[in-house]
């Protein structure tokens, strides 16, 4: 592209999407995320970058999603999706951060430098799929993205309001036509169609009930489930709440993140004793379950750890049933995984566990090293990925195995089709969970009683600079500021680990800290043998972060 053509980039920016703030913004674990009024110039520039990424990938389609996921409504964000439906390649995150923060005056020259750096063939066609969540700021930001794509002569296609996983799915399908049809309807046809195929062959028995209450977080996931439920033909009775009406605010006191972190049920729902409830997050990529006890006073949480163990154990059973015992199944977690879940996976299920840094891109990459990789963050973000070898082996058994082997293999093939392998997907995960519970005749209590969680607590601390916190060993060790890890170790040693029921080799409680990749805070996690001890340890570690890493504002408390 001649230099004169790049002047269009500068003209668009200056006249329509100028940089009006000096606030530095960084591409984190889920892209850029901050207050929506700081993002318009960033999203425009990500439209530029998406075009360059497409051309570096020989014109394959790139995705651009406008969302702040589980954050509250005043925030928004943007992230890029690579051709296989995966997160943006990590080496491009620094390029994205650089492009987002240069001045308008330097935008033209910086864009030219990046073109040379990534060796983009500007003669190639470029395709960018654009989606957005339900935030009132999303349409304006989506328009900025379109302008960025057009400025570098790329071709944008707008999908309107979709869940983040639907856009990931469509990008994958556009670049791999064997995966599915790159439309929202194509997503329903594959994911929901596979669920119905399985459920029509599974009898409803035991304690399982086809009624499922769903907290939609007043976001897009609930709206899409409202569309889907009309086609379920009675296989699953979805009772939906928090769909955005009646003044409900996105993610405010509802949704997967609220339920997981606060360990409280969402507002806006009718709570029924022992009723199975699923909570989605604002853009539909996280899922947790819970149920209330007999008097509706205590909530029992079934988070990403529980979903991972449920799915992994079921898939392992089916692999054994169809005779595919040589396929390697593994489970990927982060430091946030409850210690009891890790013990159950390794000691009871006999499945290998890999621990990686927080962020679904890290889990996804690690899961690809297995024939069947199950990955979930404790917050409910995760999925299952299958190697080409695994799919080939299972297909062959479905054709050539004996009657029982064929039956198990055919179920697995439908289970694979039900899975959104590109990214964590609350809707796909919900259907997988419901399939397993139905197949086993289990209710939420059966699921919950598989193992006993260690009491835990999460807090967050506002600091002057979250990047003052550095970590190692999959974020389980704090390397800076100096002395903070020693203080965490000292505090943890005063608490029991719960080894009496965990059979742990460790005597002390467990705590770690890490800078958030989505908010301007430092996150604190603690486990101990009682809820009181976990709460106290979390508060003490949070106080240490506040004192040693430049805390600002109110001092941390357990109620945060």
Q: Which residues are catalytic?
A: 69
The tokens of 524 are what? Answer: 């604190």
In whole angstroms, what is the distance from residue 507 CA to residue 378 CA?
23
In whole angstroms, what is the distance from residue 197 CA to residue 200 CA?
6
Nearest to residue 24, comparing CAs of 37, 13, 14, 38?
38
* Beta-bridge partners for 292: 273, 299
What is each CA distance from 346 to 313, 323, 341, 489, in whole angstroms?
12, 22, 9, 25
Nearest to residue 385, comparing CAs of 419, 435, 436, 426?
419
CA Rg value for the chain: 23
In whole angstroms, what is the distance from residue 184 CA to residue 166 CA?
7
In whole angstroms, what is the distance from residue 77 CA to residue 66 CA?
6
For residue 387, what are the contacts with CB-CB under 8 A and spacing of at least 6? 368, 370, 371, 372
Nearest to residue 207, comparing CAs of 446, 448, 449, 432?
446
In whole angstroms, what is the distance from residue 393 CA to residue 401 CA?
11
DSSP state of 520: S
* Beta-bridge partners for 374: 331, 384
Whether the CB-CB separation of 306 and 321 falls below 8 Å is answered with no
Any idea which residue has 């709440």 for tokens? 241
Any idea which residue has 């318009």 for tokens? 40
SS3 (DSSP) at 353:
strand
Element (H, E) at 299: strand 299-302
The tokens of 502 are what? Answer: 């965990």
Which class for 295: exposed (0-12), middle (13-18), buried (19 or more C-beta within 10 A)? exposed
In whole angstroms, what is the distance from residue 9 CA to residue 108 CA?
6
**144-168: burial string, b at 16+ Cβ within 10 Å, e else:** bbbbbbbbbebebebbebbbbbbbb
């Amino acid at each position: 592209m001649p230099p004169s053509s790049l002047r269009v980039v500068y003209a668009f920016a200056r006249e329509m999407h100028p940089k009006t703030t000096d606030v530095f913004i960084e591409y984190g674990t889920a892209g850029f995320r901050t207050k929506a009024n700081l993002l318009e110039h960033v999203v425009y520039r990500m439209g530029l970058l998406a075009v360059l990424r497409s051309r570096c990938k020989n014109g394959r389609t790139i995705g651009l999603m406008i969302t702040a996921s589980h954050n509250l409504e005043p925030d928004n964000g943007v992230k890029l999706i690579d051709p296989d439906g995966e997160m943006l390649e990590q080496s491009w995150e620094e390029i994205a951060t650089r492009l987002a923060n240069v001045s308008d005056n330097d935008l033209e020259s910086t864009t030219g430098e990046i073109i040379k750096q990534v060796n983009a063939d500007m003669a190639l066609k470029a395709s960018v799929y654009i989606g957005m969540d339900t935030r009132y700021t999303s349409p304006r930001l989506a328009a900025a993205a379109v302008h960025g794509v057009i400025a570098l002569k790329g071709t944008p296609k707008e999908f309107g309001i979709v869940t983040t996983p639907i856009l990931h799915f469509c990008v994958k399908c556009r670049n791999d036509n064997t995966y599915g049809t790159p439309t929202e309807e194509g997503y329903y046809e594959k994911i929901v169609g596979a669920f119905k195929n399985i459920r029509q062959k599974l009898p409803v028995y035991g304690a399982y009930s086809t009624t499922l209450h769903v907290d939609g977080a007043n976001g897009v996931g609930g709206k899409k489930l409202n569309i889907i439920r009309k086609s379920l033909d009675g296989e699953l009775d979805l009772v939906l709440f928090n769909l955005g009406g009646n003044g409900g605010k996105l993610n405010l006191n509802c949704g997967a993140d609220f339920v997981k972190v606060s360990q409280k049920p969402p507002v806006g729902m009718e709570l029924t004793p022992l009723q199975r409830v699923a909570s989605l997050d604002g853009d539909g990529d996280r899922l947790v379950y819970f149920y209330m006890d007999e008097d509706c006073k205590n909530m029992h949480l079934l988070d990403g750890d529980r979903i991972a163990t449920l799915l992994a154990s079921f898939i392992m059973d089916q692999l054994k049933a169809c005779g595919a015992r040589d396929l390697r199944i593994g489970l990927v977690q982060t430091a946030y995984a409850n210690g009891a879940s890790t013990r159950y996976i390794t000691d009871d299920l006999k499945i290998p566990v890999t621990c990686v840094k927080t962020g679904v891109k890290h889990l996804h990459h690690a899961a690809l090293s297995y024939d069947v990789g199950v990955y979930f963050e404790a917050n409910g973000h995760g999925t299952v990925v299958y190697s080409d070898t695994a799919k080939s082996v299972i297909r062959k058994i479905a054709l050539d195995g004996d009657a029982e082997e064929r039956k198990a293999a055919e179920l697995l093939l439908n289970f694979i089709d039900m899975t959104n392998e590109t990214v964590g997907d609350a809707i796909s995960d919900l259907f997988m969970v419901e399939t397993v519970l139905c197949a086993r005749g289990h209710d939420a209590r059966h699921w919950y009683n598989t193992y006993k969680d260690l009491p835990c607590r999460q807090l967050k601390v506002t600091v002057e600079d979250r990047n003052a916190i550095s970590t190692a060993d999959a974020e389980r060790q704090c390397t800076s500021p100096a002395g903070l890890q020693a203080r965490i170790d000292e505090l943890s040693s005063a608490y029991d680990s719960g080894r009496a029921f965990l059979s742990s080799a460790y005597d002390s409680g467990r705590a770690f800290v890490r800078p958030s990749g989505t908010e301007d805070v430092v996150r604190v996690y603690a486990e101990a043998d009682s809820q009181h001890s976990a709460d106290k340890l979390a508060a003490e570690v949070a106080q240490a972060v506040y004192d040693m890493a430049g805390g600002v504002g109110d001092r941390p408390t357990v109620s945060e």
